[in-house]
Structure 1
Amino acid sequence: MDTNKYAALLSIIRLGSLSAAAEKMGYSPSGMTRMMDSLENEMGFPLLHRTSQGVQLTEEGKRLLPSIRELLLAEKKTRAVRCDILSLTAGELFIGSYSSTAAVWLPPVLHRYCDLYPDVAVHLREGSNRELLEALQDGELSCAILSEPRSYKGDWIPLMEDRLLVWLPADSKLAEKEAVHPKDLDGLDFVSPPLHAETDVEAIFEKHDIHPTFRLTTSSNYTAWRMVAAGLGVSINNELVSENWKEDVVTRPFVPEEKITLGIALPSLRDASPALKKFIAEMKAHLAGEKE
């Protein structure tokens, strides 16, 4: 069964743009339009309509969306079972991750994994909580390494706790403190990850009713670090992300201490492919070795 049309529809909805989805999937805009016209003809009713905010699902399309997601997930499971039958080590992994865990955890884990299972193709995608969870929901990722989601219907495997740290310019008065209270950040210039993306930073703001001045936003942790070093504001991130960076930035813990739980989210551990189960085992073994 050709499911490319359904995957294209999900991409259009997620990006809110037919042309953006076409570019991402390697189609021309006219080719994407023909594909959607063909899908709508098969269904017998419109699935998309254009608004000033972009392309959106019709009410009929919204009713059909859960079934389409289930269909794409079933197709991935079928491919995984086929790979399992042909070879226990064959297959593909689509791993989503925070940039911190991608940079620090994944290189040694994937080095060993790829040595053990050279026929498994691994594809990485970095993103925020919201981006990774949406990709999981749409069946685009096998798993995602991130902080514990507030609400997720799949399985969750906790791996370790990590402290949240405040990043400060070297000349900041807060750098004189051994620890920073969340309210100390109220009103300060802040270098922030993208807003409204369900990040750990936004959770801290909400928890402590903090209202900094969002002077800069960036999706790059390293860029945020450099902006803080340049004196453009303060920032917050987990300890893991900056352990190997040396620029002139002062890091301080919160008081009381703030932590996040990092782990692996996946649709179903029971139904996971052999390749994914082996990856999870390698990740656990690597972290257990670090703790010894």
Structure 2
Amino acid sequence: MDINKFLLLNDIAVTKNLTMTAERMGYSQSGVSHAIRKIEEETGIIFFTRTNHGVELTKIGNDLLPYIQMISKYYNVFNESIDSINGLHTGSLSIGTYPSIAAQWLPPMLQEYKNKYPNITISVKEGRMIDVEKWIMDGSIDFGFLSWNPDHPFKFITMSRDPLYIITSKDFVLPQAYHGIFPASIFEDYPFIYSESGMDRDDISLFLQKQKSKITKNFTCRDDYTIIKMVERNLGIALLADLVINCHNGNINKFPTYPSAFRTLGIGLLSERNLSLAAKTFIKIAKKIVQEITPDNIL
């Protein structure tokens, strides 16, 4: 069983309160509930029962508690010793991310981090939102850059707001009555180049669903570069995130939408408390870099 699960069980046994444990260990409350379900499915053992005041260990849970405490104690002692010996001279770090964040944010972060800590090995995994979420939950990455979702079962550190824009060809003229803002109510009046769900597109799909516009799909594409090139040729309009648009030097116009559309970007992780020193240091640098490159969008 993953060591983080032992640490979680140990803390809940102390607090007898899921909300308190979530706050102490840097989880979301839903993340704690999700983790307990996974532990009980994995072991076939019910560790806690709910009470009017929180939770209590079951008899079996209480019998296993000394072993949980022992594992947790020596794991923490081991990590503290390793960090004390190595500092940031050795170690590894695994990061999950969307492609647009990988292109726009990660290079300056990696450059500063590697200049300071050249011996830390870093791997970067790119994928869709569902991929990054899965990697966070199964522990295959230390943390992931992604957009906020109220259903995330893990801790989310908010960093920046990324606007979504309607993009058109340079030949397109928006009626003056709209004052440079593209209303969602007129999306259906133009052929639309629709982004397939995934990668940087999940937030776009959610926004379009909320507007309930009867969009006429002219094309459906997976690749952002292809979408922008189609827009350049006046084959339709599209809705893309600003970070995505900035990855490509397209000959296009971009218009803010009404209602305003944006995604909230940040870092997802299972627990701040259990992060390695290498991961904590990278997140600190990441926050500083994002403030420098997106000063108008900081939340």
Distance 1:108 1:222 in 2: 23
**Pairing 1:227–2:226 present:** no
What does residue 139 of structure 1 align with?
139
Pair 83,174 (structure 1): closer, same or farther in 2 beyond 3 Å: farther
What does residue 209 of structure 1 align with?
212
Mapped contact 1:205–1:211 kept (Cα < 8 A): no
Equivalent residues, number: 223
**What do residues 102-124 of structure 1 show as CA deviations (whole Å, max 9, x unaligned)?**
11111111101011111211111
Alpha-carbon offset, residue 147 of structure 1: 1.4
Distance 2:220 2:171 in 1: 21
Mapped contact 2:98–2:145 kept (Cα < 8 A): yes
Mapped contact 1:99–1:221 kept (Cα < 8 A): no
Distance 1:175 1:250 in 2: 14
Partner SS, residue 152 of structure 1: coil
Distance 2:190 2:231 in 1: 12
Pair 126,252 (structure 1): closer, same or farther in 2 beyond 3 Å: same
Alpha-carbon offset, residue 203 of structure 1: 1.0
Alpha-carbon offset, residue 166 of structure 1: 0.7
Identity %: 26
What does residue 14 of structure 2 align with?
none
Pair 86,218 (structure 1): closer, same or farther in 2 beyond 3 Å: farther
Distance 2:198 2:146 in 1: 17
**What do residues 14-61 of structure 1 show as CA deviations (whole Å, max 9, x unaligned)?**
xxxxxxxxxxxxxxxxxxxxxxxxxxxxxxxxxxxxxxxxxxxxxxxx
Q: Which letter does structure 2 place at the counterpart of 1:217? A: T
Partner SS, residue 246 of structure 1: coil
**What do residues 39-97 of structure 1 show as CA deviations (whole Å, max 9, x unaligned)?**
xxxxxxxxxxxxxxxxxxxxxxx944999xxxxxx9xx99x938635522222222122
Distance 1:237 1:63 in 2: 40
What does residue 267 of structure 1 align with?
270
Alpha-carbon offset, residue 209 of structure 1: 0.9
Pair 253,122 (structure 1): closer, same or farther in 2 beyond 3 Å: same
Distance 1:258 1:192 in 2: 16
Partner SS, residue 196 of structure 2: coil
Pair 121,151 (structure 1): closer, same or farther in 2 beyond 3 Å: same
Q: Which letter does structure 1 place at the counterpart of 2:265? A: L
What does residue 44 of structure 1 align with?
none
What does residue 87 of structure 1 align with?
86
Partner SS, residue 186 of structure 1: helix
Pair 92,232 (structure 1): closer, same or farther in 2 beyond 3 Å: farther
Distance 2:84 2:219 in 1: 51
Please give the root-mean-square deviation of Cα atoms over the aligned residues, in Å: 3.1
What does residue 191 of structure 2 align with?
189
5+ residue gaps, structure 2: 2-39, 46-71
**What do residues 148-189 of structure 1 show as CA deviations (whole Å, max 9, x unaligned)?**
123112111111112111111223354875111112112643
5+ residue gaps, structure 1: 2-61, 68-73
Distance 1:237 1:88 in 2: 41
Structure 1 window deviating more from structure 2 (260-269 vs 232-241): it is: 232-241
Distance 1:66 1:153 in 2: 21
Q: Which letter does structure 2 place at the counterpart of 1:142? A: D
Distance 2:140 2:221 in 1: 24
TM-score (norm 2): 0.65
Structure 1 window deviating more from structure 2 (256-265 vs 278-287): it is: 256-265
Pair 266,187 (structure 1): closer, same or farther in 2 beyond 3 Å: farther
Pair 216,156 (structure 1): closer, same or farther in 2 beyond 3 Å: same
Q: Which letter does structure 2 place at the counterpart of 1:149? A: N
What does residue 292 of structure 2 align with?
289
What does residue 155 of structure 1 align with?
155
Alpha-carbon offset, residue 245 of structure 1: 3.5
